[in-house]
Amino acid sequence: MDFSRITVLCVGDVMLDRFVYGDMERISPEAPVPVLLLNRRTEMPGGAGNVASNVISLGGRAILIGLVGEDDAAVTLRDTLRIRAQVSEMLVATTRRPTICKTRFIAAHQQVVRADEESRLPLQTEEAELLCQAIDARLEEANVVILSDYGKGVCDSMVVRHLIGEARLRDIPVFVDPKTPDFRHYRGATCITPNAKELAAAAGMAVSDNASVEQAARRVMARAEADAILATRSEKGMMLVPSGGEAIAVPARAREVFDVSGAGDTVIATMALAVGSGMAFDQAMRVANAAAGVVVAKLGTATADIGEVIRELQAQDGPEEAPHLLTTVQAKRQIADWKAHGLTVGFTNGCFDIIHPGHVSLLAAARGACDRLIVALNDDASVRRLKGETRPVNMLASRAAVMAAIRSVDAVVAFSEDTPLEIIRELMPDVLVKGSDYRPEDVVGAAEVIAGGGKLVLADLRAGHSTTATIGRIQGA
């Protein structure tokens, strides 16, 4: 899957997405609102700008056309685009409105409030003419066009008619992310990609199941004279309804969702690139579904790179059930993802040959000390060296399957050495957990974790349980 030769012309409402992070330590004495101690902020292109970012993240090239004010936010937005080498911007400056800026204040991984800066002024004739001139200047370079309508003014009737008309004259497919419920506004588009709420509003009917989604899609598709409707349905996946064929639905793969911000941008960017590269609509939809699955597992306005999408496609083609035992490389990747979302990662280890209430109690205590817990199991040879030739009772695959099913455990790995020191060094958890029967100075890996900024937790053990005693009772019986 190579999109490096595909150029996407992205036209629409461009904005600056600003994320301001802080700690929420107290309630203001002036009003019942939290006080944030700000410590970090990030800025990135939003709206149609995020579509362009998705295009280049997936390996394509983007030309971005939109409207900005003559203000500091426009300078910042242009700076964020300048570092994206594969994006060429044709932003039209206007004195009639500010650059659209959305500022999200975040504390404890939660959005506290969002502040928007924008104008409700309709698009002015001279602004529309300048946008059409920019489209004419760059349309010949494009393999495919995306119209990203956020309802902020750029996608008025003059610009939309001009863009779709000129693109179709050149046989360039046009993908539309809609905002207005009247899809006749996008007449002649190749594919329109509403979410379930937008589709229901446009069709004037509920869309609760596959049959109603298809019925609604065909109703609005006829009005728009479009070739296809791709309905995105959050946890229910997607449905593609082509004008001359049967509807095709694909489910979303079960996953931990951190943030759905920008998922629609990812879908339309992926669809456009895939169709532009020659894929059929149904094949492109499956790639877009995988890309959406990647970005909802990230925090903030995110993008997916082509490697992540390929891995997600491979996972979708495999069994629905996640593997019980991760390789070290997979575990490192998972831990990096967790840490990127601000989550603390805990680690504990052992043979866990026959799981008993003492183990469950330890694992629950370990999980209580962190946001995500990874358990490292001694492999069979390691258990045999430590416990004798009659052990383990349960082989590694069985022990991993049982361990992965325990509620407190988020991931399972294995190690072949007599101690977990090497795998601790590889994974570098934030929290190392052992039973309270250990002294801190005797815990393998504690010094390394603490030196890396982590901590050691000695969890209380539930008395009266041991694997050796359980085996003894079985032999006695």
Which tens digit of pLDDT belongs to each residue from 282-299? 999 999 888 887 776 655
| Interval 266-281 mean pLDDT | 93
Q: Is the pLDDT of residue 119 over 90?
A: yes
Annotated binding residues, written as ranges, equal: 195-198
Q: Cβ neighbours of residue 159 under 8 Å, at least 6 residues apart?
A: 11, 123, 128, 131, 132, 135
- The rounded percent of the chain whose pLDDT value lies above 70 is 91
Q: Is the pLDDT of residue 230 over 90?
A: yes
CB 16 within 8 A of CB 102: yes
Q: Catalytic: 460?
A: no
Alpha-carbon gap, residue 18 to 413, rounded angstroms: 38
Q: Is the pLDDT of residue 229 over 90?
A: yes
Q: Is the pLDDT of residue 133 over 60?
A: yes
| Interval 188-204 mean pLDDT | 96
Q: Is the pLDDT of residue 314 over 60?
A: yes
Give me the pLDDT at residue 108, please.
77
Alpha-carbon gap, residue 248 to 370, rounded angstroms: 42
Helix axes 281-295, 263-276, angle to 10 degrees: 150
Give me the pLDDT at residue 298, please.
58
The structural domains of the chain, ordered by start, are 7-172+252-317 (3.40.1190.20), 328-476 (3.40.50.620)
Peptide bond into 392 cis (omega under 30): yes
Q: Is the pLDDT of residue 321 over 60?
A: no
Which residues are registered as beta bridge partners of 180?
A: none
| Interval 157-162 mean pLDDT | 97
Mean pLDDT of the chain: 89
Alpha-carbon gap, residue 229 to 407, rounded angstroms: 40
pLDDT band at 109 (very low <50, low <70, confident <90, very high): confident
Query: Catalytic: which of 177, 265, 380, 410?
Result: 265
Give me the pLDDT at residue 342, please.
76
Sheet containing strand 228-232, strands side by side: 87-89, 61-65, 7-12, 144-148, 174-177, 191-192, 228-232, 238-242, 248-250
pLDDT band at 472 (very low <50, low <70, confident <90, very high): low
Q: Is the pLDDT of residue 471 over 80?
A: no
Give me the pLDDT at residue 214, please.
96
Give me the pLDDT at residue 469, please.
61
Alpha-carbon gap, residue 365 to 370, rounded angstroms: 9
Annotated binding residues for ATP, written as ranges, equal: 195-198
Helix (H, G, I), strand (E, B) or coil at 131: helix
| Interval 361-379 mean pLDDT | 92
pLDDT band at 220 (very low <50, low <70, confident <90, very high): very high
Q: Where do the H-state alpha helices sit in 145-226?
A: 157-169, 196-203, 210-224
Give me the pLDDT at residue 463, please.
62
Give me the pLDDT at residue 340, please.
76
Lowest mean pLDDT among 124-133, 216-225, 287-296, 314-323: 314-323
Q: Is the pLDDT of residue 348 over 80?
A: yes
